[in-house]
Structure 1
Amino acid sequence: MSPPIEKMDSSLNQLVNVKHLALSTNCIDKMISLPALKNIEVLSLGRNLIKKISGLEEIGSTLKELWISYNQISALDGLAPCVKLTTLFISNNKIKDWPELDKLQANQDLTNVLFYGNPIYEGLTKKQARPKVLEHLPKIATLDGELLTGDDDEDSLGGSKA
């Protein structure tokens, strides 16, 4: 078994044709720019030590999915360049303020998110957190692994099921 990777370095830019880069379950603490990865669609960095989302400017035009659960991330900065992002798995991090979700409104294609395990959910079940998430991100179709229905929209607007 190889020792864990401790940092992302520029040698990753040799993977010019990679579509899915999996670097999960390592000891990476910082994201870097990957300008040569012109075809990347999925970047998997779950179970690392990352504190800040960064370095996505160069791959934002192709990146569709960012899997970054189980890290130390407390802010949702750095995702605006990801214009094709549809999926953001960022559960079990340190996001504690609901207004952080507003930063994701710039990601117009974002429809699938995982937020559970973050401090914003503290004291709430997934179902109780749902209207709060929809208040900030009304276009979400799948939240925490569950497909949302029209009833979820009514619940988020204060309506009730008959």
Structure 2
Amino acid sequence: MSKGIPIKDALKLWEEKTNKVAVESEDIGLQIQWPPIEKMDNTLSTLIECRKLSLSTNMIEKISGISGMKNLRILSLARNSIKNLQGIEVLSDTLEELWISYNLIEKLKPIDQMKVLKIFYVSNNSIKDWIEFNRMGQAPNLVEISFIGNPLCDTMDEGTFRAEAIKKLQNLKKFDGEPVIRGV
């Protein structure tokens, strides 16, 4: 098995491919690296101008090294091996979109601390109880969620689950790709 590529080396390859300077760039894509990125590290905190970062389709297990990313608005960590959201709270004042589908997430704490998060794609993970689901209702600006493919969805038929989910998340405008229409 090959050893993962460090963020520093992945950024160097990205710079060569795009002819851009990473520390000056607003949109950086390090998805589908080979060998894959296995660890987020403090090199990411040097990317102060970055507004959108994609680390999707790698082998990352833990969120870390992002505390210096003060301008980050969109973070894509889909298709990794992430088990929980610990570490994301350092972006609670800036992160507007978190794409973290197709991981191994069971617990959603600290999603409730995300003050400006609007879009949360967490489909196809391992969330199996309403206690964790309800944490999303504590994120004050969350209006769009993709949740399909979690074990909790299989506890009742699709229509009943959707109705229950929408009832629990009062600010929701879009759920699993469909607009939320509330009774008058």
Q: What TM-score range do you get, normalising by the shorter chain? A: 0.7 to 0.9
Q: 2-side partners of 1:125 and 1:17: how far apart?
A: 45
**Secondary structure, aligned partner of 1:88:** strand
Q: Per-residue displacement from partner, 1:73-106 (whole Å, max 9, x unpaired)?
A: 0111111231000011000000000221221222
Asked if the contact 2:51/2:73 (under 8 Å) is kept, the reply is yes
2:53 to 13, 17, 21: 21
- For residue 78 of structure 1, what is the aligned residue in structure 2? 110
1:4 aligns with 2:36: yes
Q: 1-side partners of 2:34 and 2:166: how far apart?
A: 42
The alignment yields a C-alpha RMSD, in angstroms, of 1.6
Unaligned ranges ≥5, structure 1: 155-162
Asked if the contact 1:42/1:63 (under 8 Å) is kept, the reply is yes
1:68 to 93, 100, 109: 100
Unaligned ranges ≥5, structure 2: 1-32
Q: 1-side partners of 2:113 and 2:65: how far apart?
A: 12
1:32 aligns with 2:61: no
Q: 1-side partners of 2:108 and 2:71: how far apart?
A: 24
How many aligned residue pairs are there?
152
1:99 aligns with 2:136: no
Asked if the contact 2:45/2:65 (under 8 Å) is kept, the reply is no
- For residue 158 of structure 1, what is the aligned residue in structure 2? none
1:52 aligns with 2:77: no
Asked if the contact 1:49/1:71 (under 8 Å) is kept, the reply is yes
The one-letter code of the counterpart of 1:12 is: L
Residues 114, 126 of structure 1: CA spacing in aligned structure 2 closer, same or farther, 3 A cutoff?
A: farther
2:149 to 90, 95, 117: 117
Q: CA deviation at 1:125?
A: 4.9
Q: 1-side partners of 2:116 and 2:38: how far apart?
A: 28
Q: 1-side partners of 2:34 and 2:95: how far apart?
A: 28
Runs of 4+ in 1 over 6 A off after TM superposition: none
Asked if the contact 2:127/2:150 (under 8 Å) is kept, the reply is yes
Q: Per-residue displacement from partner, 1:20-62 (whole Å, max 9, x unpaired)?
A: 1100000000111412100000010000000010112321100
**Secondary structure, aligned partner of 1:49:** coil
The one-letter code of the counterpart of 1:63 is: L
Asked if the contact 1:69/1:92 (under 8 Å) is kept, the reply is yes
TM-score, normalised to structure 1's length?
A: 0.87
Larger fraction in helix = 2
